A and B are shown apart, each in its own frame.
Chain A
Amino acid sequence: MIVAPALQVEHLSVEFRTRSGIVKALDNVSFAVGKGETLALVGESGSGKSVTAYAIMGILDPAGRVTGGKAMLGALDLLHATPDEIGKVRGREIAMIFQNPRTALNPIRPVGRQIADVLLRHADVTRREAPARAIELLRAVGITDPARRAKAYPFEMSGGMCQRVMIAIALAAKPSLLIADEPTTGLDVTTQAVIMDLIGELAAEIGMATIFITHDLALAAQRAKHIAVMHAGHVVELAETQEMFAHPRHPYTAELIAATPDTAASLDQLASIPGSLPDLRRADLPPCRYSERCPRKLASCDQPLPVMPPENPHTVACWNPL
């Protein structure tokens, strides 16, 4: 259980209106992340990891709508804050690192200027001081020759360096919460290790909470204190990292671990997960969205999912857990 949460998300539900019906993208998502801690959201594509992040940041697509729940950052409910209130905390209190840094950065503005923009808006820095502070930040994220690099455009830098710039922008105002959405997907493993170290060190330095979104179970295991496993818009299991891998309780978590090539001695030992994600537009979605793929399904699985008390250190949304 998390004693002093930096962010507490409770019963978050999100829907998207599409031409072919309403997609129930998130349903009753709850988790908390403590000050200075890292929570990993893991799951396959389409499980709702990024939608969760976008809902918290208030940057959902116009077709998306929060239909319930709250996300408390201190006393402020991010989901029901006015645009004015959220504008004050976004970039200052909560920051986000996007996947694919090259497209997330402004391609026609030197990176030093992009960092200075954030400083001017959120960090009470004067126009005169901003360029020097930007160079300082570039040095802090480990870019060599920062004064020269500050004048470079994103296309002149490698993917790893662009991601460092993104981190510098995100951390410019020393936020209390960082959301990192697949920050190292597409980077080499060697660069990935360095970038993840960097995020970890900076987070520890300023006591920042981190929500780390990834599909890489092994990376989550290595970097996060807690893990929330998502499937089809549900958090199916939430526990401390070591506990989760030692005793996975939800059948889906167990199958995900068995499909990860990391520990297997041969290909035959790896198990695939039968079936696919249910269509989230269906009107007759079962309460447990995994039940149609589940090998441990019982007749009782058709009732609403069990509700675990939030103080439980290992929660699992399953009637027949392992």
Chain B
Amino acid sequence: MTTTLLDITELAKRFPAGKPAGPIARLRKRFAGGPEKLPQVYAVDDVSFTIAQGETVGLVGESGCGKSTLVRVLTRLLDPTDGGIKLGARELSHTPARRFARDQDRKRIQMVFQDAGESVNPRFTAFEAIADPLRRLRGLSGTNLRHKVEEAASRCGLPLELLTRFPHQLSGGQRARVGIARAVAVEPDLLVLDEPTAALDVSVQVVILQLLQRLKRELGMSYLFVSHDLSVVRLLCDRVLVMYLGKIVESGPARAVFDHPLHPYTQALVAAVPSINEHGHTRLRLTGEPRSPIDPDPNVCRFYGRCPNGVDRCKTEMPALRSFPGGREAACHFAELTAQ
């Protein structure tokens, strides 16, 4: 039996869209009755999922679908509007992000950002970059600190003589190693990886992916792997979550989801991935632009309008995310038909 590490329940994050009204308009509104309400961007809307200990979960979806907001909320860099974030036995959603920065559990969730060349302080050497979280979160100093930094660096395959270098003096692959080393140095339980290989060439990408897989085995971490590269997600992840406009539209074991996608959005996503063995064009194409995430109609499927098989029911009833055999979930009125 696997133990649940992270439990996200009905998580929502909404941002106000547009400027608040000026003082006169506000007064006028108040006299007209009712509180002032701004339009809201539903960046993350009613998202629930779990990550088990030692599990690698992939999060895929197009830009603007809310992946990054979801990640920022669950790493507690942003406060959720609604819902629960449970790490082990601890409920994190009530601790404000500002206070969580100094929380004892901060070190349990760490992040690897997309391009370490931009996410690491350019005036920090590789040593300083890796030492910083160790100092702040584990209170290390002196020889203990040096020892830990060197251990993290060698674990991530970063030659120790490179520790004195600044980010711009390192190659893309070496920078990626620094980004990973600083995150794993404090020995987190959950590592959130936001497109860690997107800026790398294929030859380097392979090495970094294999490094991540080895670290996970050695340190027993769980991964949330955010990517839009489906062929990488397929290789690295046990389970995958597919997000569309703030909602999870499909989830399940990575191989099953990519081999037999149940949701039409996942189908389009899989069809769009080019393959060496396939020459020419595939037929399934998404047309049009995504619906607006500002105050979306709760009764219309978010995918309606781009969906190749949208019918009238799709604009009067939002499909619920429901279970399918094999640990899968999908939110489409036609998923049962597809599953057969």
Interface assignment of A93: CB less than 8 Å from any CB of chain B? no
Tell me how far the C-beta of A316 lies from the nearest C-beta in chain B, rounded to whole angstroms. Answer: 19
Interface assignment of A158: CB less than 8 Å from any CB of chain B? yes
Contact B286 A45 (CB under 8 A): no
Contact A255 B235 (CB under 8 A): no
Interface assignment of B272: CB less than 8 Å from any CB of chain A? yes
Q: Which of A202-233 contact B (CB under 8 A)?
A: 215-219, 221-223
Tell me how far the C-beta of B118 lies from the nearest C-beta in chain A, rounded to whole angstroms. Answer: 14
Interface assignment of A126: CB less than 8 Å from any CB of chain B? no
Q: Which of B281-340 contact A (CB under 8 A)?
A: 281-282, 285-289
Choose from B213, B274, B285 the contact partner of A221 (Cβ within 8 Å): B274
Given contact pairs A190-B62, A215-B202, A256-B203, A263 touches B288 in the complex (Cβ within 8 A): no
Given contact pairs A219-B274, A222-B279, A259-B206, A144 touches B235 in the complex (Cβ within 8 A): no
Residues in B neighbouring A261, C-beta threshold 8 A: 202, 205-206, 209, 229, 231-232, 234-235
Q: Which of A18-52 contact B (CB under 8 A)?
A: 44-45
Contact size range, B:
35 or more
Question: Could you tell me the distance between the alpha carbons of A34 and B7 in the complex, rounded to whole angstroms?
Answer: 57
Given contact pairs A193-B282, A194-B286, A261-B231, A245 touches B202 in the complex (Cβ within 8 A): no
Give the residue name and chain of the B residue nearest to A268 (CB). B210
Tell me how far the C-beta of A192 lies from the nearest C-beta in chain B, rounded to whole angstroms. Answer: 7
Interface assignment of B277: CB less than 8 Å from any CB of chain A? yes
Tell me how far the C-beta of A124 lies from the nearest C-beta in chain B, rounded to whole angstroms. Answer: 33
Interface assignment of B164: CB less than 8 Å from any CB of chain A? no
Residues in B neighbouring A257, C-beta threshold 8 A: 276
Residues in B neighbouring A223, C-beta threshold 8 A: 274
Q: Which of B237-291 contact A (CB under 8 A)?
A: 268-269, 271-282, 285-289
Choose from B171, B235, B271, B276 the contact partner of A267 (Cβ within 8 Å): B235
Given contact pairs A217-B276, A222-B274, A273 touches B285 in the complex (Cβ within 8 A): no
Choose from B171, B228, B236, B279 the contact partner of A188 (Cβ within 8 Å): B228
Residues in A neighbouring B210, C-beta threshold 8 A: 267-268, 270, 272
Residues in B neighbouring A266, C-beta threshold 8 A: 235
Choose from B202, B207, B278 the contact partner of A260 (Cβ within 8 Å): B202
Residues in B neighbouring A217, C-beta threshold 8 A: 202, 276
Contact B209 A267 (CB under 8 A): yes
Give the residue name and chain of the A residue nearest to B209 (CB). A267
Choose from B172, B236, B275 the contact partner of A218 (Cβ within 8 Å): B275
B residues with a Cβ closer than 8 A to A are 62-64, 171-172, 201-207, 209-210, 213, 228-232, 234-236, 268-269, 271-282, 285-289
Q: List 13 A-B contacts (CB under 8 A).
A: A45-B201, A188-B63, A194-B286, A216-B274, A218-B275, A242-B279, A256-B202, A257-B276, A260-B202, A261-B234, A264-B235, A267-B213, A271-B206
